[in-house]
Amino acid sequence: MIKKVVIAAAGQGTRMLHLTKNKSKHLINVQKKPFLAYLLDNLLKAGYKELILIVGYKENLMREFLKKYQYRAIVVNQFEILGGKEKEYGTACPLKCVKDIMDKEQFLAVYGDNLYSVTDLRAMNIEDNYNYVAGFYHSHPEKYGVLVANNGFLEKTVEKPKKYIGNLINTGLYKFTPEIFDELPKVRRSPRGEYELTDAITFLAEKRKVKVKKIQDYWLDFGNPADIIKLSRFLTCQRV
């Protein structure tokens, strides 16, 4: 059974505007509790016991959060290892910081600004020789990375396609085998100047090593101020 999960939470979250002036978006309160707490609670309920939290912006506040809410986690500062945005940045960077911690184990990886149900998180606990990416059917796929799959295997990910190619989008929830660490060094800067995790996943997909797992319950992104109200209403209506 997979126990370890990497939570990427190093960024500030500039799309939250003034709300992230003094803390990262992961610590913005929703119904009097930081967003990140909802994600960590669901991860623990889903059976993932070893939390590896990748921090950067305002690390001290992240540590205070863990202490206040009594979460046990390994804290890794991405900025200290790789440098800040001006040096090396992007979705591939958190995994670059945890190779030694993983110790050749399979693990889950999530972005700290996304929320999934306990059921869907548990469903990603698949201990086999494949990597998995969680997909979600969305009415506006052009705003996201679209997963192109064939017979359950990922072929490629197309970022914000201008033409319709499908509506199954990447939700930033992954299960990885240690093979991912062989692909990360091959990733080069993208056109937007970042190191993209999807590039490493594409390398694995070309070897027919990546399967797509579809989200059954829900996926909520926490990226801009409007999402605070959206999530608050969701929490009022449902148990997460």
Tell me the mean pLDDT in the region 140-158.
94
Confidence of residue 34 (pLDDT cuts 50, 70, 90): very high
Q: Which of 85, 5, 20 is nearest to 222 (CA)?
A: 20
Query: Looking at this protein, which amino acid is placed at residue 203?
Result: F
CATH code, 230? 3.90.550.10
Instruction: Fill in the amino acid letter for 105.
Output: E
Average pLDDT over residues 34-44: 98
Average pLDDT, the chain: 94
Give the rounded percent of residues in the chain with a pLDDT score beyond 70: 99
From the CB of residue 105, how many other CB atoms can be counted at a distance below 10 Å?
14
- DSSP states of 33-93: EEHHHHHHHHHHHTT--EEEEEE-TTHHHHHHHHHHTT--EEEEEHHHHH-STTTS-STTH
Please tell me the predicted confidence (pLDDT) of residue 19.
82
Burial bucket for residue 185 (CB in 10 Å: 0-12, 13-18, 19+):
exposed
Chain Cα centroid distance, residue 18: 23
The 10s digit of each residue's pLDDT in 228-237 is 999 999 999 8
The tally of domains found in the chain comes to 1
Confidence of residue 195 (pLDDT cuts 50, 70, 90): very high
Residue 189 domain boundaries: 4-237
User: Given this model, what pLDDT does residue 240 score?
Assistant: 47
Contact 154, 194 (CB under 8 A): no
pLDDT band at 115 (very low <50, low <70, confident <90, very high): very high
pLDDT top residue among 44 and 240: 44
Structural tokens at position 187: 């990733």
pLDDT for the residue numbered 61: 96
**Residues 34-52 as b or e (16 or more Cβ within 10 Å = b):** bbbbbbbebbbebebeebb
pLDDT at 87 over 90: no
Q: Which helix (DSSP H) or strand (DSSP E) does residue 115 occupy?
A: strand 114-116
